């Protein structure tokens, strides 16, 4: 039997097929980039959190629904994927506030890794992308602990306004 993490990997890879992150393949660049930050920088080794990281954009980018995710993974894992879904009628600020309000450590830490990935990409791209970098920095500051800021290399942000 395939492990749930391997299944999440294959599912996300298949459902994100053809999607781009700028010029790059969305799954290999963004999804695996977020997972890498989670594992190697923040140090999260929990398999359920890895599943959420692998699937964090599935509901936003595909027609996959919560009931389907609940049939594929534990329902609390599927619910955290839902918490990381920004709906089209929702402001970005409300979306982040919802992540804070549900008080799920798993959803919070995956969003930190996602925002850290997007922050670094925005800085690397520069120009018009720098406005996004500020938004991602604000999200990281809202969600991350001092230790997580340190682990991510954002030491100079420690003690900044939450």
pLDDT per position as a tens digit, 9-43:
999 999 999 999 989 999 999 999 999 999 999 99
pLDDT per position as a tens digit, 16-25:
999 999 899 9
Average pLDDT over residues 140-162: 86
145, two tokens = 């602990």
pLDDT per position as a tens digit, 88-138:
999 999 999 999 999 999 999 999 999 999 999 999 999 998 999 999 999
Please determine, for residue 162, whether its predicted confidence score (pLDDT) is greater than 60: no
CA 33 from chain centre, in angstroms, equals 10
| pTM, two decimal places | 0.95
Query: What contacts 24+ positions apart, CB below 8 Å, involve 31-34?
Result: 31/56, 31/57, 33/117, 34/110, 34/113, 34/114, 34/117
What is the 8-class DSSP label of residue 24?
A: E
């Amino acid at each position: 039997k395939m492990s749930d993490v391997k299944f999440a990997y294959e599912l996300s890879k298949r459902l994100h097929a053809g999607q781009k992150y700028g010029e790059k393949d969305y799954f290999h660049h963004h999804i695996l980039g977020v997972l890498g930050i989670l594992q190697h920088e923040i140090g999260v080794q929990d398999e359920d959190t890895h599943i959420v990281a692998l699937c964090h954009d599935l509901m936003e980018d595909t027609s996959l629904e919560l009931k389907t995710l609940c049939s594929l993974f534990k329902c609390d894992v599927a619910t955290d994927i839902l918490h990381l879904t920004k709906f089209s009628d929702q402001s970005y600020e409300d979306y982040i506030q919802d992540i804070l309000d549900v008080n799920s450590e798993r959803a919070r830490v995956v969003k930190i890794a996602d925002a850290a990935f997007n922050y670094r990409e925005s800085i690397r791209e520069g120009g018009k992308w720098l406005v996004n970098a500020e938004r991602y920095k604000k999200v990281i500051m809202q969600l991350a602990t001092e230790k997580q800021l340190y682990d991510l290399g954002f030491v100079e942000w420690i003690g900044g306004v939450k």
